[in-house]
Amino acid sequence: MKNAINAKSLWLAARLGLVLLVGVAHSPGADQENPQDKPKDKPQAPPARSVASPSSAPSQTAPVPSLPNAPARRQSENIRPPPKTREPAQTTKTTSQPAQPRAKQSGLRRDTPNPKEPPEVRQPGAKTIRTGNSSYKEVTASGRTIRSVVKERDGQHIQTFNPAGRVQQEEVRKQDGTLQTTLFAPNGKPRLEVVVRHDGNTQTTNFHYDRDGNERAKETVNTDARGRPVSKTVVVRQTTIIRNTTIKKNSEIVMNYDPGRFGFVYRPAYVEHPRVFVSWYNPRWYTPAGVLIVHPFHYVWGWENYGWYHRYHGPYWATYDVYPAPCYWLTDWVIGGYLADNYAASISVAQAQEEVRLAQQDAANARQAAAKATDEAEIAEAKRAQAEAELRAKNAEERVEKTERQETSTDKANPNATPIDQETKEVLRNQIEKTIAEKKEFAEQSEKGGNPVVPDVFKALADPNHVYPVSKTIGVTRAEDSKPAGILTTGDLLKLEPGQGALKETTANENTFVTMRVMTSKGEADAVPAGTLISVPLGDLQEFDNEFRAKLDLGLAEAEKNEDLFKRNAVAK
């Protein structure tokens, strides 16, 4: 009996050992990962690098119309609200900022680094010093301020500083539960603001600046508590607009957009006020059936004193000598608006030199902070900031040289440019007339109580002759091999390449790529040569279509203001 019990015990021990051995062999803690368990890389769509290009129009002499302004390009940048700040319990207290918590790693041993996770960056230790009843700041061992907390009437303000001493971010925690977070550019100006309200609705605003560093546009996107887009508003600021000898300082143009299938869709400005079409379809210019009547007139634009005009007029585009009808006038107004936008979105020599100065100053301050620090983490942080500032300075110096070359080549023919010829200009003029007729029909239906759907870019894609003026700076790839093709800038013209198959509305989205042919090019550095076939996502084409329709609304208003002038300047028969 005793021998039987011992035999049974040995059998159980052997079986338990075998189970443990098998468990170790198949446990997720094994040193090598199973290649089949690794996620497969998804094919990358051709990248499209975008930079927003809203701008202010050039000042003009009376009775010169103002130029339209391009809406800012969308930029998606998420900010996660940081944890709430607790005030210190003591006047002076030494604290050590904890390292970022590691994500729970399944399948890796504790001593095995995660190859998919970047290495941790240890933050320098900080000492908290009270500066008021409800205010304090956190400083490093060397005395450098890294964060300040101040309680004001509108809420608690929390500022974060970089090693160069500049404010990187500011949070305002308001009493109603709203959290407002602002990110600042290296020059100290706000570039992004996110407002999260107590109900979860979010308002994200991107700021854009002109060639001289002044704010020229801001784009605000509203989302609900689930993160779904609700609306977008673009406000373009013009320092001076001259309209019929009246000068308006700091005038603003507001454009509204609604969510659509391929991104936001421009909401027409004259849905409820179609009277502008009465002026446009004046019997002097159109028959009751909509047939164009020609009454040629002269028009002096007064653009000769503006940099954008000297850079692009002649080498890339030329105005009509005589305007047979207002639709010809509006064609020049629209093209001039795009080119003025592109010039405003570029950088001046003075502004590029200022960027060099600021970057060099930041590099020097970070270098000094690293020399003064004693904590290894603080030294490493300062050196990283120094390297980033030195790279900024190098890039800014290159921009200075490039801008100087551009400004010295004004009024000179660019051998690399493919300008807008008269045939292309005529296609664009016909497109303008067609789009205005659609706007008129849309406004009339709305006035009668109808609920017409605002057309998106799919309507334009149905027309094989449709021209797409580019409304922002964007990097594109070649359609044939997805290799970089170069840069498109505001005012370049594109056309849908035929023979690529019909798009399906049920499956197409803003990330669906289509093949476009570059029709015109300014021939600037890195510009995509005319004739190149490129891949462009529908989301970008939707933005191009939005800006084209917005410019027509502004142009219709300007044409109405100049209606009497068109008649007075009629060419004598």
DSSP tally for the chain: helices H, then strands E: 10, 20
**How many whole angstroms separate alpha carbon 339 and alpha carbon 330?**
14
Q: Select from 359, 391, 408 the last residue of a domain.
A: 408
Q: Select from 389, 408, 427 the last residue of a domain.
A: 408
Q: What total of structural domains would you count in the chain?
A: 2
Domain check: are 297 and 392 in the same one?
no
Instruction: Give the C-alpha distances (Å, rounded to integers) separating 557 from 65, 333, 560.
Output: 9, 12, 5
Are 454 and 445 in contact, with CB atoms under 8 Å apart?
no
Coil, helix or strand at residue 81: coil
Look at residue 284 and tell me if it is in a domain: yes
pLDDT at residue 533, rounded to an integer: 98
pLDDT at residue 441, rounded to an integer: 87
Domain check: are 508 and 559 in the same one?
yes
Are 381 and 367 in contact, with CB atoms under 8 Å apart?
no
Q: Select from 408, 437, 454 the last residue of a domain.
A: 408
pTM of the entire structure? 0.76
Domain check: are 326 and 455 in the same one?
yes
**How many whole angstroms separate alpha carbon 191 and alpha carbon 212?**
16
Domain check: are 395 and 303 in the same one?
no
Contacts by residues 22-25 (CB-CB < 8 Å, ≥ 24 positions apart): none
Domain check: are 562 and 457 in the same one?
yes
Domain check: are 425 and 557 in the same one?
yes
Domain check: are 363 and 496 in the same one?
no
**How many whole angstroms separate alpha carbon 501 and alpha carbon 28?**
48
Domain check: are 296 and 336 in the same one?
yes
**How many whole angstroms separate alpha carbon 41 and alpha carbon 36?**
12
**How many whole angstroms separate alpha carbon 354 and alpha carbon 358?**
6
Domain containing 481 equals 269-313+321-344+417-568
**How many whole angstroms separate alpha carbon 105 and alpha carbon 46?**
33
Domain check: are 404 and 328 in the same one?
no
Look at residue 153 and tell me if it is in a domain: no
In three state form, how does the secondary structure of 536-562 look?
Answer: EEHHHHHHHHHHHHHHHHHHHHHHHHC
Look at residue 442 and tell me if it is in a domain: yes
Pull the structure tokens for residue 410: 């004004």
Look at residue 97 and tell me if it is in a domain: no
**How many whole angstroms separate alpha carbon 412 and alpha carbon 316?**
11
**Averaged pLDDT in 10-residue chunks for the chain of 573 residues:** 46 44 39 41 45 39 39 40 43 38 37 46 75 89 93 93 95 95 95 96 96 92 96 79 40 89 89 74 93 95 89 92 97 95 92 95 95 92 95 94 81 83 96 94 82 89 94 96 96 94 84 96 93 97 96 91 93 81
Look at residue 262 and tell me if it is in a domain: no
Domain check: are 478 and 356 in the same one?
no
Domain check: are 556 and 497 in the same one?
yes
Look at residue 113 and tell me if it is in a domain: no
Coil, helix or strand at residue 498: coil
Domain check: are 470 and 333 in the same one?
yes
Look at residue 390 and tell me if it is in a domain: yes
Look at residue 81 and tell me if it is in a domain: no
The identity of residue 263, as a single letter, is: G
Place of tokens 């001039």: 336
